[in-house]
Amino acid sequence: MKLLITGGGGFVGARLARTLLARGTLAGQTIKTLVLTDQVASPADLVADARVQDRTGPLLSQCEALKTEAFDGVFHLASAVSGECELDFELGMRSNLDSTRALLDALRACGQASGKPTRFVFSSSVAVFGPDAAIPMPSPVADDTLPAPQSSYGIQKLICEHLVSDYTRKGFIDGRAARLMTVSVRPGRPNGAASSFFSGIIREPLAGVEAICPVDASVSHPLASPGKTVEGLIKVFEASREDFLGRLGMNLPSINVRVSDMLDALEQVAGKAVRDRVKFVRDERIAGMVANWPTGATARRAARLGLHPDESFADIIRQYIEDCRKTPGGEAALKGLA
């Protein structure tokens, strides 16, 4: 089996790659080659695996060559993030929309040549949902909630969902779109996503660093751990066409928590001194974006696949701490713990 992960150098992409390599199989087939492509090099441990091919550079520039390279499966995770897309419209259109269409056209050419459509998982986002004067956004949003994105990023993701659906309808690919909830806790440095603080207000205090929360403590949002997110992507890939139930995007499971709940969980796991490193300094740009996001989500279709949310946000924090302790050098991320 030959697989491609776009965005393979990113946190979720790299975690997905490690999980697949550790499993050794996907959908009952042995993984012989795993191609990782990103604008940055893949982590050294992945490159060291003989099954991995690492390709660095913009996805858009690689798609022409991909027309002659057959893959059994593709996980398309590469994307410019929400804050970047709002600040740089051209970047978002190029990185999210143009690259996705070019990739789909490359897979279409491969499928027509081989007579077998490539199975394709697109990582969409909860950002496809938003409020509209004509169609108020319910709380929580569900699989059948009409998307009305209020950001360039969300609109680009929704357009790509429909492209994946239509390429599937035409038989060009076997596609399915999984709507990822906001992933927390992400390790490393903050990124350009407007949602970055949902990790930062946990990650930085655990490292002994002050964290700024740009929104009110009452803000609620659907979150999922990295482990549950990767589990969902794999399960969506392995699902039969019938079990996936249609062609439209599927919500992945989440827990719906307020910022105050997150900080309560942080204090429960790590103590009051760690919690006290979080300071509230409102950022109107970020707060304005977050105000248009869902306060919660449900995932009934995913539950039919056997996917379920994390037990609690305290459990998510414990998973992050355990991951850091297992990672070489990861203890430095926990130097704020007593």
What pLDDT is attached to residue 82?
81
For every residue of 47-75, DSSP letters joined together read HTSTTEEEEES-HHHHHHHHTT---SEEE
pLDDT for residue 328:
85
pLDDT, tens only, 237-273? 999 999 999 999 999 999 999 999 999 999 999 999 9
Residue 316 has pLDDT above 80, yes or no: yes
- Residue 137 is predicted with a pLDDT of 94
Domains of the chain: 58-181+224-254+296-310 (3.40.50.720)
Q: What is the model's pLDDT at position 193? A: 79
What is the full DSSP assignment across 89-121? Answer: HHHHIIIIIIHHHHHHHHHHHHHHHHSSPEEEE
Structure tokens given for 50: 């003989």
Residues acting as catalytic residues: 153
313 — phi, psi (to 5°)? Answer: -70, -30
Question: Quick one: which of 126, 128, 122, 110 has its CA closest to 172?
Answer: 110
pLDDT in tens, 283-311: 999 999 899 999 999 999 999 999 999 99
pLDDT of residue 120: 98
Q: What's the whole-model pTM score?
A: 0.95
Which residue pairs, CB below 8 angstroms and at least 24 apart, start in 80-83? 80/153, 80/192, 81/153, 81/191, 81/192, 81/193, 81/194, 82/125, 82/127, 82/151, 82/153, 82/154, 82/192, 82/193, 82/194, 82/195, 82/289, 83/192, 83/193, 83/194, 83/196, 83/286, 83/289
Q: Mind listing the pLDDT tens digit for each residue in 145-181?
A: 999 999 999 999 999 999 999 999 999 999 999 999 9
Distances (CA, A) of 241 to 9, 120, 173, 210: 29, 12, 12, 47
In degrees rounded to 5, what are phi and psi of residue 174? Answer: -110, 85
Write the CA distances from 216 to 69, 181, 219, 337, integer angstroms. Answer: 49, 20, 6, 25
Mean pLDDT of the chain: 95
pLDDT at 66 over 90: yes
Query: What is the DSSP pairing of strand 278-280 with strand 220-224?
Result: unpaired
